Chain A
């Protein structure tokens, strides 16, 4: 079956969903098993249209739920195909059981997660609840802050995930609506360049290799389970980051667009820094520049690779910083935010333990405004001046009612 190539302009105006759909087309994904959910639907819908129009050689499998969608992806990946899908929020939650299967079976599936709040109350807008729900699932998690990055990181995801030294599934996150439905200029690769970057799919232990029959999805009890999980964790901790870095390096050579495991902005001499993910990184960068004009040495650190968590790169990025605010866009459910936890864990045993405070913001798509961030940087500077954290360790930003803070 032949397929047509698509002529793209050097810069296209795409939203994050369409950018991801185009990436799936250019990757020539063999199987997409998908179930629609706002705001991720246009990704798989886009792939289906490209397929129907003869721009992809593959299969689109319509299923009855997200659990079945990921199950279909697992079967197709075990059979030996390049596989991807997309989901959000409740759909992601329903997928969770199979996410652990995919990573434990070491199947390279790319899952585009368009981040959205988790019910109740039901909400279709963007926060990071679903991304956080996946953080112990053994997947690689890449985070994009814009449609351009959603496009680019899909190629990084295929390249790293399918590497035979890695063989772990990979999520590409983008913020619901803020990225997924906001059209921006996206610099494209032509079809051959894009496909060439990831190359042909190289099967490993595939079920369609009839000369080497395999059983996938076996049961192990107390005699084997621990060894399998340990192996998986070892590979997440030691093998993924070098491959991600190599993929970022190759990608920069190819396109000129540079990605880092931890993105640092104005961090060379920063006293105060905001650490966050998603579209908020871009807002924080703008505010940091304005704070510098006011004489506050402000910086921003964005997490590009959320899992495996970049402990070493974070330590390096935060060296010499005096006060750090972690911004978590997910209801922490009775503890500190995930980023607060991770950063505390990363920095506790370092010599220059910075003043650390955590902020919860933007739940259910509530805006994080520049004014919020100006206040936040001002608080951080006050912490630096006082030599201690002057506020509670956990504060809520942008919620109505009396000031909400804990710890």
Chain B
């Protein structure tokens, strides 16, 4: 696509989201969608990120807050179960961590280069309220 000449693309600086016709796209999960090359879904913006969220599923209550609030549709949820983060499109804004209601949080921000196994192993304890 990068090397196409002036006569080799559709007119109008217009991009197609999917290859071919789509039906019921709203009920089709992302992995089953026929995204086109020009769709931003096929491009990674992972290198925009300085901090990344890590997900600890043991504490998650599947409230879906993170899925609702994520501005980049980067929380992957299937059948109302949080299953992970789309690290190609997450820009590390931290909103998911901010809205996570569990104690301790099931999502925390770490430096981009942090090791996931290590951080999960050292996950903070439940915050006890001092009376």
Contacts and interface: CB of A to CB of B under 8 A. Distances in A.
A217 B5 contact: no
Interface string B27-53: 000000000001000000000000000
Nearest to B26: A210
B130 to A, nearest CB: 53
A214 B15 contact: yes
Interface stretch (A127-135, A177-185, A223-231, A275-283): A223-231
Interface stretch (A18-26, A42-50, A101-109): A101-109
A220 interface: yes
A220 B13 contact: yes
A350 interface: no
B13 A105 contact: yes
Chain A CB within 10 Å, residue with most, of B7, B14, B25: B14
Contacts of A106: 11-14
A216 B10 CA distance: 12
B18 interface: yes
B22 interface: yes
Given A213-B16, A214-B15, A205 B22 contact: no
Contacts, number: 62
B38 to A, nearest CB: 8
Nearest to A229: B6
A234 B16 contact: no
Where chain B touches its partner, the secondary structure class is: loop
Interface in A158-208: 167, 205
B25 to A, nearest CB: 7
Nearest to A225: B13
B42 to A, nearest CB: 13
B113 interface: no
B17 A214 contact: yes
Contacts of B14: 105-106, 205, 214-216, 218
Contacts of A234: 6-7
A231 B11 contact: yes
A167 B11 CA distance: 9
A235 B11 contact: yes
Contacts of A215: 14-17, 38
A203 to B, nearest CB: 12
Nearest to A164: B11
B13 A217 contact: yes
B22 A212 contact: yes
Contact of B6 (A167, A205, A218, A231): A231
9 contacts: A106-B11, A106-B14, A211-B22, A212-B18, A212-B21, A213-B18, A214-B16, A215-B16, A234-B7
Interface of A: 104-107, 167, 205, 210-218, 220, 223, 226-228, 230-232, 234-235
Interface of B: 2, 4-7, 9-18, 21-23, 25, 38
